[in-house]
Structure 1
Amino acid sequence: MLVSEGRQPCESVKHWVHRTLRHALMTGRFQPGEPVTINGLAEMLAVSAMPVREALQYLVADGALELLDNRRVRVPEMVPEKFDEILAARIALETVAAERALPQMDFLRLARLQHLDSLVDAAYDAGDIERGIVANFDFHRCIYEVHSSGVLLPMIESLWLRLGPFMRHAAENHWQSYKVDRHAEALDAIRDRNAEALKTAITADIQDGIGHLGRAQFLDTAARTF
C-alpha cells in the first residue's frame, strides 16, 4: 500500500507527488513488475491526474519506471545483467563521493553517522525492512552530501531508485543470511582519515549487502525453474 509522505509547507502538489512516488519506489513499496496507473495513484494520493502523470514521466525518464508498448507503466523487472551493472555504477560513483567527502567530515557528521547506523541495526533487528532501507540510504547520503550534493548525489540516488523495489523484495527473503556490518568499517576509516579504507568499506558494503541479497534472490528464482 502506498503511504504518502507529508507535504512540506509551501511545497507544490507537483513536487510532493513526485517526491512521494520516488520515496515509495526507493523503499520498495512497489514490487518489480507491478503495474501502476495514473488514476489509481491519484486516488491513493487524493490529487488530480495531472501531477501524477507528470511525476510518472519523470520517473520513466529516470529509469525507475518503464513505459510499455500499450502506454501502460510498470515497475521494471530486475535481471542479473542489469543488477550487476547498477552495482558497478554504485561502487564507481559512491567511492568517489566518499573520497571527496572525507576531508570535510567533522565529529558532528561522524556522530550523525553512528546514530544512523544504530537505526539500521535496530530496524533490521525488529524485522522492519522498509525502515532499515531508509536508514541505510540515509547513512550513505550523510557521507556523500558533504561534498557531492550537486552532481554525484543525484546520480547515486537515481541508482538507488532503480534498485529499491528489487532490494526490498530480496531483503525480505534473505536478510537473515547477511550478518556483516560494513558500516562499522566505514566509520573506522572516517575516524582514521583513511580514504582507501573508506572506499574499500563502501565497496564491500555494496557487494556484501545488496549484492549478496540480490544474488541469493536470483538463485532462488532460478531454482524454481530447474
Structure 2
Amino acid sequence: MVMTQLNDLLTTAKRIVFLTGAGVSTASGIPDYRSKNGLYANKRRPEYLLSHTCLVKEPEVFYEYLKANLYYPKAKPNIIHEKMAAFTKAKRATIITQNIDGLHAKAGSDLERLVEFHGNLYDLYCQKCGQTVTYKTYLKNMYHQDCGGILRPDVVLYEEGIKQARLNQALTALSQADLVVVCGTSFVVYPFAGLIQYRSPKAKVVAVNKEVISLPSDGIMIQGDAVKEFAQVDNP
C-alpha cells in the first residue's frame, strides 16, 4: 500500500464525493479555463461567447467559438479519471463535475454515480424540433438538416440555470459523504463552488490542486500535480 495523505484518506472513507473541474482534463490535452494558458487567457468576452444571449443573438459566433475551442473528441481519460471511475464502480464514490468534456463517462464511471453538473458537449439537440444529433453532425453544420432549426449542446451556458435533477443528486451525495475531494478547479464558479456548503458536517474535505484554493477552515490542501497524486492511489 502506498502511504500518501490522499491514498490514506480515500482508503479509509466509505462514501466519497469527488468535485472536479477543468484541471482534471488538462493531462488529457484539454485546456482549462482560468489559468494563464487557459481558454480564457487573452480572449475577449469569453463569458459572452459562452452565454445564452450569444446563442440567441449571434448563433453563428457562438457556434464558431465552440467548434474552434471546446471540442476535443480524440481526448482520452487520464489516470485521475480512471481512479475516480474505479471508486464509483466500487459503489464508494460519486463524481460531481463541472467538466463538459465527457471524459469521466469515457473512463467507465458508474453513470448513476456521475453528475455532469454543467452537462455534456456531446449531448446535442435541435432547439426547434428537439431531435438529438451526433457531435460529428454538429461540427459539420449548426443547422438541423431535417427542420432547419439551430442545434446546440445540452450544456449550461452563462445566464442559464442548473437542471434540478442534477442539483438534487449532487446535494444528496454531499449530505451523505464522509470525504469530499476537490480536484482541478479554481473553485470560484457558482453555484458549483457553493456545493461544499451542503456537505455533511462530519465530512473531511481535501483539495488536490496546482494552485491553493479557498477551503473550509478544517480543509486539507494538497498542492501539487493531481496526476502524480492519483497515480499513487490504490484501487478500491
Q: TM-score, normalised by structure 1?
A: 0.25
**Structure with higher strand content:** 2
